[in-house]
Protein backbone atom coordinates (compact mmCIF):
# COMPACT_ATOMS: atom_id res chain seq x y z
CA UNK A 1 0.00 0.00 0.00
CA UNK A 2 1.31 3.42 -0.97
CA UNK A 3 1.17 6.16 1.67
CA UNK A 4 -0.53 9.38 0.55
CA UNK A 5 1.94 12.18 -0.15
CA UNK A 6 0.27 14.56 2.32
CA UNK A 7 0.66 11.91 5.03
CA UNK A 8 4.30 11.40 4.01
CA UNK A 9 4.85 15.15 4.42
CA UNK A 10 3.28 15.03 7.89
CA UNK A 11 5.65 12.17 8.76
CA UNK A 12 8.64 14.16 7.49
CA UNK A 13 7.74 17.08 9.75
CA UNK A 14 7.14 14.78 12.72
CA UNK A 15 10.68 13.36 12.36
CA UNK A 16 12.36 16.77 12.03
CA UNK A 17 13.71 18.80 14.93
CA UNK A 18 11.31 21.46 16.16
CA UNK A 19 13.76 24.15 15.01
CA UNK A 20 14.22 22.84 11.45
CA UNK A 21 15.10 25.63 9.07
CA UNK A 22 15.42 24.21 5.56
CA UNK A 23 14.63 20.90 3.93
CA UNK A 24 15.88 19.68 0.58
CA UNK A 25 13.46 17.07 -0.73
CA UNK A 26 12.95 14.67 -3.59
CA UNK A 27 9.70 13.21 -4.80
CA UNK A 28 10.13 9.96 -6.75
CA UNK A 29 6.94 9.46 -8.73
CA UNK A 30 5.37 6.03 -8.95
CA UNK A 31 4.32 6.70 -12.57
CA UNK A 32 7.04 8.58 -14.46
CA UNK A 33 4.57 9.31 -17.26
CA UNK A 34 2.87 11.80 -14.92
CA UNK A 35 5.98 13.91 -14.28
CA UNK A 36 4.74 16.89 -16.29
CA UNK A 37 1.36 16.84 -14.54
CA UNK A 38 3.14 16.66 -11.17
CA UNK A 39 5.35 19.63 -12.14
CA UNK A 40 2.27 21.72 -12.86
CA UNK A 41 0.64 20.80 -9.54
CA UNK A 42 3.90 21.49 -7.71
CA UNK A 43 4.67 24.77 -9.50
CA UNK A 44 4.47 26.89 -6.30
CA UNK A 45 7.21 24.63 -4.83
CA UNK A 46 9.50 25.46 -7.77
CA UNK A 47 10.37 21.82 -8.52
CA UNK A 48 13.25 20.86 -10.74
CA UNK A 49 14.09 17.61 -12.48
CA UNK A 50 17.34 15.71 -12.09
CA UNK A 51 19.44 16.16 -15.21
CA UNK A 52 16.44 17.89 -16.81
CA UNK A 53 15.09 14.45 -17.82
CA UNK A 54 11.33 13.85 -17.58
CA UNK A 55 11.73 10.08 -17.84
CA UNK A 56 13.30 9.81 -14.40
CA UNK A 57 10.16 10.94 -12.57
CA UNK A 58 12.19 12.54 -9.78
CA UNK A 59 11.42 16.09 -8.70
CA UNK A 60 13.38 18.08 -6.18
CA UNK A 61 12.25 21.11 -4.18
CA UNK A 62 13.00 23.00 -0.99
CA UNK A 63 10.98 23.95 2.07
CA UNK A 64 11.79 26.62 4.64
CA UNK A 65 10.21 26.94 8.07
CA UNK A 66 10.46 30.69 8.75
CA UNK A 67 13.13 32.34 6.60
CA UNK A 68 15.22 31.54 3.56
CA UNK A 69 14.53 29.95 0.22
CA UNK A 70 11.84 27.31 0.01
CA UNK A 71 8.10 26.80 0.22
CA UNK A 72 6.28 27.13 3.52
CA UNK A 73 5.29 23.84 5.19
CA UNK A 74 1.58 24.53 4.68
CA UNK A 75 2.08 25.14 0.97
CA UNK A 76 4.02 21.89 0.63
CA UNK A 77 1.22 20.00 2.36
CA UNK A 78 -1.45 21.56 0.13
CA UNK A 79 0.49 20.61 -3.01
CA UNK A 80 1.09 17.07 -1.79
CA UNK A 81 -2.65 16.76 -1.09
CA UNK A 82 -3.36 18.07 -4.59
CA UNK A 83 -1.14 15.33 -6.04
CA UNK A 84 -2.99 12.79 -3.89
CA UNK A 85 -6.30 14.07 -5.24
CA UNK A 86 -5.05 13.68 -8.80
CA UNK A 87 -4.00 10.10 -8.11
CA UNK A 88 -0.30 10.89 -8.45
CA UNK A 89 1.71 8.85 -5.99
CA UNK A 90 5.31 8.55 -5.05
CA UNK A 91 7.87 8.52 -2.31
CA UNK A 92 8.96 11.70 -0.55
CA UNK A 93 12.54 11.71 0.74
CA UNK A 94 14.51 14.29 2.72
CA UNK A 95 17.87 14.69 1.01
CA UNK A 96 19.22 17.22 3.48
CA UNK A 97 17.96 18.99 6.56
CA UNK A 98 19.31 22.16 8.13
CA UNK A 99 18.33 22.90 11.70
CA UNK A 100 18.59 25.98 13.90
CA UNK A 101 19.64 28.41 11.14
CA UNK A 102 19.35 32.02 12.19
CA UNK A 103 19.48 34.94 9.76
CA UNK A 104 22.21 37.51 10.33
CA UNK A 105 21.54 41.20 9.80
CA UNK A 106 24.01 42.14 7.10
CA UNK A 107 22.32 45.17 5.58
CA UNK A 108 20.72 48.31 6.81
CA UNK A 109 20.85 50.10 10.13
CA UNK A 110 21.21 48.17 13.35
Ordered per-residue pLDDT tens for the chain, 110 residues: 679 999 999 999 999 988 888 999 999 999 999 999 999 999 999 998 777 666 789 999 999 988 778 999 999 999 999 999 999 999 999 999 877 666 656 655 55
Task: Provide the pLDDT for residue 31.
Answer: 95
Angle between helices 5-15 and 73-85 (to 10 degrees): 150
Q: Is 3 exposed, middle or buried (0-12, 13-18, 19+ CB in 10 A)?
A: middle
Count of structural domains, the chain: 1
Domain containing residue 63: CATH number:
3.30.70
Task: Provide the pLDDT for residue 56.
Answer: 83
Let me know: does 61 contact 109? Beta carbons within 8 Å: no
Please name which of 31, 83, 87, 85 lies closest in space to residue 61, comparing C-alpha atoms.
83
Residue 24 lies in a domain: yes
Task: Provide the pLDDT for residue 30.
Answer: 96
Amino acid sequence: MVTALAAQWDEVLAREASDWSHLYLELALTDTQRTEQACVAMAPLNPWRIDDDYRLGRLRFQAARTVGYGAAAGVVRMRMAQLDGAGIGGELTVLRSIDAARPVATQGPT
